[in-house]
């Protein structure tokens, strides 16, 4: 089976500093993978390079059989990749609903606004308030929700649980489980592997701009030593 | 502004072992050329060139070394021209006293305009200085002592220190050259003084300068007043050279011209504004006899400079292989 | 005769109207500047030249092509907008990653080149442009005669200002604009063609200036330098209003126009500089501007 998203020997630079040193990964249709690693190891950079936000990069990225390296940034989303940044990127000058409706539809099969409001009732209640008046958890919900509307086939999700209360983390976990049930493909970046273990099918471990290990969720218990060493938890 | 966005190539070019001597010889040759130039070129043209070179150098002191783009330097140049012209013509002051009044008047104007303009940064600073100088323009249009559209005509050059007759063209030329060299020396000393160093560090990183405890606005204001005073020196000279002061000198087009001279020559280099002034003044002289408007060329040169060589001619030369071989640095 | 503060009512109303007309142009122009600055981070010094181009386009459409005022009102902004789009695509867009001062210098050069070219071909003197027959004459308001065309200028500019505000605050395109003003990279990562949005924005701003130019053609004369002094006043308006708010730009434009008109009645010597004086006072009391958010 050929992968939906495959990345080969991806290198990336911030200005003069070389950040990614040959990242290889693949994600199959409907699979949820999780990239683990300490801060500064290149997890976010990997997502930004795949998305094409970081342009100083080399290697091979293909998505649904299409070469992504040559596409300008705005065509990456059109190809079916959805990006949810770590800082969430909620717009202050837009209302909650405007934020939700902002990303253009890229394909059929996205959630309808009603479905989204059923999934995130808080957003419906506050749909007319400015985007940044939401709590951190609500902003994360909004950041997720607006990509679900677009019909993207694969989500690049950067640390969705960072800085959130356990009850919110639980709710986000539930949403991810539902998405998986709908067949959504997800690349999740997390430091919280206990959270990731509940949703991810497979793990990559990242260290100094490279993938140093790859294993399915079932092997997680056997890899705890490695994880403790690498993540320092 | 120029330094931040245009990093100098970091690859090393070996500096020629005699680079220092070569630079010294080049400098002396230029100086010698200025001394004998009136034998070959119209002195009035040369004096105009020197006055504008000083004006552009004063402007560059602000833009090149503090990163502040003033769009209102015509007010200091033209204002000083009026003050000097009025003092020597109506009050019978000596030329050196008249010029001194022009410098002080420009400095005072600079203090007021600067105090208001430094309340905003970057792009706003440029717009505010432009608006304030336009206000000064309208003041000059209406104030009786400027004689409105006519300007102050037939300004006497007088005798320098009561001794040297400046109506003699060669005397006047060497006087202008002397003032120009003194002005450059002041700028050079200022840039390399502790004050100038702090200005540079503010330009590089304003936040860091603030956190180091420097009163950034006071330093900026100091540089602004200094630049205004030197622009005033150039304006006062101009009034004596051409023996008139008019609204042209305070109009916004003049502020644009001095920006162009500096940009074309090279922002942040000592030599750049002088070369830029030379080119712009020559161009104006050349086109003066045709009916082709200078503004079209000026506008196009602006666009080309901004798009293609933001370091300016001198900056590009300094950054080139030859320039680096001679040990020049476009920006420190 | 009715007197108010020792001034005949007629004169007061007349100058108020002149102030309102000037204010209409200030509002239209500062609106365009604010829209462009918001997204492109470029102060469009060529705004005055684009205003002049609008007026000239109307004049040339009439004299060369026989196109009347009403079509010119639509065509001139389109022509100038197209020209601006070409400039943005080929040149201005190369400067976005640099210090914003370069954008100011580039558009300054552009303004000089455009104005110089028109002066070369059409001379510096103004050329009359007759108002359309439907808008000639005057109506008696009881206390004054209102020239119909002047009334139309105020109404038309107000309508366009409101329409622009609605476009930006209430439509999908406006949401893209606002979002891209905050974070252009993320908006592009969502699949919006942000480079195209920037081109359209610059064209829209220039088109607004050209629209103001067509409106102005019958009021002032059409001349190559009609925009060059105006743009400096508009800069002051923008500094007073702060560029963070579209509504702020519009309100400040009308307000300062009216203040300027009133100054002509009560202290004519200062009418040229009153806007600059207000700018200085606002900067001293409230550096961010009346409606400004940014420091």
Positive or negative, the CA dihedral A111, A115, A118, A122 is positive
Residues of chain C neighbouring A51 (CB-CB closer than 8 A): 189
3-state DSSP assignment of residue A210: strand
Give the Å distances, CA to CA, from B282 to A166, B31, B42, B57, B203.
Answer: 74, 19, 12, 17, 32
Strand partners, A214: A204
Q: How are beta strands A154-158 and A81-84 bridged, if at all?
A: parallel
In a domain, B299, yes or no: yes
Q: Residue B280 sits in a domain of what CATH number? A: 1.10.3470
Instruction: Identify the CA nearest to A20 among candidates A37, A3, A2.
Output: A37
pLDDT at C143 > cutoff 90:
no
Instruction: Select the residue of C175, C183, C193 nearest A74 (Cβ to Cβ).
Output: C193
**What is residue B8's DSSP assignment?**
P
The residue among C103, C283, C295 with the most chain B CBs within 10 A of its CB, best to mutate, is: C283
Strand partners, A231: none
- Give CA–CA dist B19/B122, Å, rounded: 37
Instruction: Identify the CA nearest to C68 among candidates C3, C121, C132, C152.
Output: C132
In a domain, B331, yes or no: no
Per-residue pLDDT, B12: 59
Q: Which domain holds residue B65?
A: 2-325
Q: Please, which chains are in contact with A (at least 3 CB pairs closer than 8 A)? A: C
The answer to whether B59 and B231 have CB atoms below 8 angstroms apart is yes
The answer to whether B282 and B323 have CB atoms below 8 angstroms apart is no
Q: Is C78 exposed, middle or buried (0-12, 13-18, 19+ CB in 10 A)?
A: middle
Q: Domain total for chain A?
A: 1
pLDDT at C217 > cutoff 70:
yes
Cα angle A61-A67-A71, degrees, rounded to a multiple of 5: 100
In a domain, B106, yes or no: yes
Q: What is the 3-state secondary structure (H, E, C) of B103-139?
A: HHHHHHHHHHHHHHHCCCCHHHHHHHHHHHHHHHHHH
Work out the pLDDT band at C1, boundaries 50, 70, 90.
Answer: low
Question: How high is the mean pLDDT of chain A?
Answer: 91
- Which residue bears the tokens 């705004």? C47
In a domain, B52, yes or no: yes
Cα angle A189-A169-A101, degrees, rounded to a multiple of 5: 75
**What is residue B152's DSSP assignment?**
B
- Give CA–CA dist C66/B203, Å, rounded: 55
Q: Write out the E strands in C123-192.
A: 138-140, 145-147
Question: Are C185 and A73 an interchain contact pair (Cβ–Cβ within 8 Å)?
Answer: yes
Per-residue pLDDT, B11: 52
- Cβ-Cβ pairs closer than 8 A, B with C, add up to 130
Q: Does the CB of C75 have a partner CB in chain A at under 8 Å?
A: no
Per-residue pLDDT, B15: 75
Which residues 6+ apart lie within 8 Å of A180 measured at CB?
A30, A32, A186, A199
In a domain, B330, yes or no: no
Per-residue pLDDT, C218: 94
Q: Domain total for chain B?
A: 1
Strand partners, C127: C222
Per-residue pLDDT, A109: 84
Per-residue pLDDT, B103: 94
CA distance, residue C178 to nearest chain A CA (Å): 6
Q: Please, which chains are in contact with C (at least 3 CB pairs closer than 8 A)? A: A, B
pTM here is 0.89
Per-residue pLDDT, C268: 83
- Cβ-Cβ pairs closer than 8 A, A with C, add up to 58
The separation between CA A155 and the C-alpha centre of its own chain, rounded to angstroms, equals 5
CA distance, residue A224 to nearest chain C CA (Å): 36
Work out the pLDDT band at A90, boundaries 50, 70, 90.
Answer: very high
- Give CA–CA dist C275/C44, Å, rounded: 20
Question: Are C190 and A104 an interchain contact pair (Cβ–Cβ within 8 Å)?
Answer: yes
Per-residue pLDDT, B5: 41
pLDDT at A43 > cutoff 90:
yes
Per-residue pLDDT, C257: 94
3-state DSSP assignment of residue C3: strand
Instruction: Identify the CA nearest to C191 among candidates A150, B279, A202.
Output: A150
Per-residue pLDDT tens digits of chain B, which is 332 residues long: 443 444 445 555 677 777 778 888 888 888 888 878 777 788 888 889 999 999 999 999 999 888 899 999 999 999 999 999 998 988 888 888 899 999 999 999 999 999 998 888 888 888 889 989 999 998 998 888 888 778 888 878 877 787 777 778 888 888 899 999 999 999 999 988 888 888 888 888 888 888 888 888 889 999 999 999 999 999 999 999 988 889 989 999 899 999 999 999 988 888 889 999 999 988 888 888 887 888 898 899 889 999 998 888 888 888 877 777 777 765 43
pLDDT by residue (tens digit) across C160-201?
999 999 999 999 999 999 999 999 999 999 999 999 999 999
Q: Write out the E strands in chain A.
A: 5-14, 17-27, 32-36, 57-63, 66-67, 81-84, 154-158, 185-189, 202-207, 210-216
> Which ipTM was obtained for this model?
0.92
Q: Which residues numbered 58-77 in C keep a CB inside 8 Å of some CB on B?
A: none
CA distance, residue A101 to nearest chain C CA (Å): 8
Q: Is A68 exposed, middle or buried (0-12, 13-18, 19+ CB in 10 A)?
A: buried
Q: Does the CB of A89 have a partner CB in chain C at under 8 Å?
A: yes
Q: Which residues numbered 110-129 in C keep a CB inside 8 Å of some CB on B?
A: 110-117, 119-120
Q: Is B25 exposed, middle or buried (0-12, 13-18, 19+ CB in 10 A)?
A: exposed
């Amino acid at each position: 089976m050929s992968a939906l998203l495959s990345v080969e020997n991806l290198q990336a630079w911030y200005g003069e500093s070389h950040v990614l040193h040959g990242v290889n990964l693949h994600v199959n249709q409907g699979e949820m993978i999780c990239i683990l690693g300490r801060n500064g190891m290149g997890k976010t950079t990997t997502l930004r390079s795949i998305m094409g936000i970081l342009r100083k990069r080399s290697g091979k990225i293909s998505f649904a059989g299409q070469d992504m390296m040559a596409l300008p940034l705005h065509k990456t989303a059109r190809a079916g990749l959805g990006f949810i940044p770590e800082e969430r990127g909620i717009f202050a000058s837009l209302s909650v609903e405007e934020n939700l409706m902002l990303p253009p539809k890229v394909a059929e099969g996205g959630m309808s606004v009603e479905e989204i409001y059923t999934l995130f009732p808080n957003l419906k209640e506050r749909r007319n308030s400015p985007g940044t008046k939401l709590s951190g958890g609500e902003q994360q919900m909004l950041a997720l929700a607006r990509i679900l509307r677009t019909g993207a086939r694969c989500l690049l999700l950067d640390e969705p649980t960072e800085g959130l209360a356990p009850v919110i983390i639980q709710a986000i976990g539930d949403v991810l489980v539902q998405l998986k049930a709908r067949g959504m493909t997800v690349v999740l970046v997390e430091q919280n592997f206990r959270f990731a273990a509940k949703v991810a099918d497979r793990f990559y471990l990242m260290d100094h701009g490279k993938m140093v290990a790859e294993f399915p969720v079932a092997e997680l218990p056997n890899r705890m030593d490695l994880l403790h060493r690498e993540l320092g938890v | 502004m120029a330094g931040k966005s245009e990093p100098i190539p970091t690859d090393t070019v070996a500096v020629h072992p005699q680079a220092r001597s070569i630079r010294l010889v080049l400098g002396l040759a230029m100086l010698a050329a200025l001394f004998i130039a009136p034998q070959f070129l119209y002195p009035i043209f040369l004096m105009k060139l020197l006055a504008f070179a000083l004006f552009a150098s004063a402007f560059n002191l602000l833009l090149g070394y503090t990163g502040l783009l003033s769009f209102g330097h015509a007010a200091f140049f033209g204002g000083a021209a009026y003050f000097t012209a009025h003092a020597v013509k109506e009050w019978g002051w000596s030329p050196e006293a008249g010029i001194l009044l022009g410098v002080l008047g420009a400095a005072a104007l600079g203090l007021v305009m600067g105090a208001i303009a430094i309340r905003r940064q970057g792009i706003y600073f440029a717009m505010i200085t432009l608006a304030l100088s336009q206000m000064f323009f309208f003041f000059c249009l209406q104030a009786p002592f400027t004689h409105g559209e006519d300007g102050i005509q037939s300004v006497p050059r007088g005798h320098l220190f009561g001794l040297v007759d400046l109506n003699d063209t060669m005397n006047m030329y060497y006087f202008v050259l002397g003032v120009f060299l003194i002005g450059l020396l002041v700028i050079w000393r200022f840039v390399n003084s502790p004050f100038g160093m702090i200005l540079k560090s503010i330009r590089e990183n304003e936040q860091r300068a603030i956190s180091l405890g420097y009163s950034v606005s006071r330093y900026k204001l100091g540089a602004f007043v200094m630049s205004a005073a030197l622009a005033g020196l150039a304006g006062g000279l101009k009034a004596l050279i051409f023996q008139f002061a008019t609204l042209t000198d305070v109009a916004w087009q003049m502020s644009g011209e001095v920006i162009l001279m500096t940009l074309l020559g090279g922002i942040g280099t000592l030599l750049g504004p002088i070369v830029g002034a030379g080119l712009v003044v020559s161009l104006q002289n050349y086109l003066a006899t045709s009916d082709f408007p200078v503004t079209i060329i000026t506008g196009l040169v602006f666009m080309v400079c901004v798009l293609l060589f933001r370091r300016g001619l001198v900056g590009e030369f300094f950054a080139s292989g030859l320039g680096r071989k001679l040990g020049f640095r476009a920006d420190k | 005769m009715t007197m108010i503060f020792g001034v005949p009512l007629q004169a007061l109303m007349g100058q108020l109207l002149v102030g309102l007309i000037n204010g209409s142009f200030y509002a239209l122009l500062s609106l365009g500047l604010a829209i462009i600055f918001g997204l492109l981070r470029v102060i469009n010094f060529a705004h005055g030249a684009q205003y002049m181009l609008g007026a000239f386009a109307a004049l040339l459409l009439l004299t060369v092509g026989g196109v009347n005022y009403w079509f010119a009102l639509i065509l001139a902004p389109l022509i100038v907008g197209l020209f601006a789009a070409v400039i943005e695509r080929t040149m201005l867009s190369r400067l976005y990653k640099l210090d914003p001062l370069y954008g100011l210098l580039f558009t300054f050069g552009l303004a000089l080149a455009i104005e110089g070219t028109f002066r070369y071909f059409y001379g510096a003197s103004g050329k009359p442009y007759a108002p359309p027959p439907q808008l000639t004459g005057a109506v008696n308001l009881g206390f004054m005669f209102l020239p119909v065309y002047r009334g139309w200028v105020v109404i038309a500019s107000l309508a366009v200002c409101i329409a622009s505000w609605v476009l930006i605050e209430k439509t999908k395109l406006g949401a893209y604009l606002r979002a891209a003003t905050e974070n252009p990279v993320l908006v592009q990562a969502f699949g919006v063609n942000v480079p195209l949005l920037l081109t359209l924005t610059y064209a829209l701003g220039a088109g607004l200036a050209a629209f103001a130019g067509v409106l102005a053609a019958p009021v002032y004369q059409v001349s190559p330098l009609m925009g060059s002094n105006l743009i400096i006043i508009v800069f002051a308006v923008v500094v007073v209003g702060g560029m963070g708010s579209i509504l702020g730009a519009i309100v400040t434009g009308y307000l300062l126009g009216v203040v300027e008109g009133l100054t002509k009645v009560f202290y004519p010597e200062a009418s040229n500089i009153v806007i600059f004086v207000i700018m200085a006072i606002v900067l001293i009391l409230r550096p961010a501007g009346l409606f400004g958010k940014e420091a």
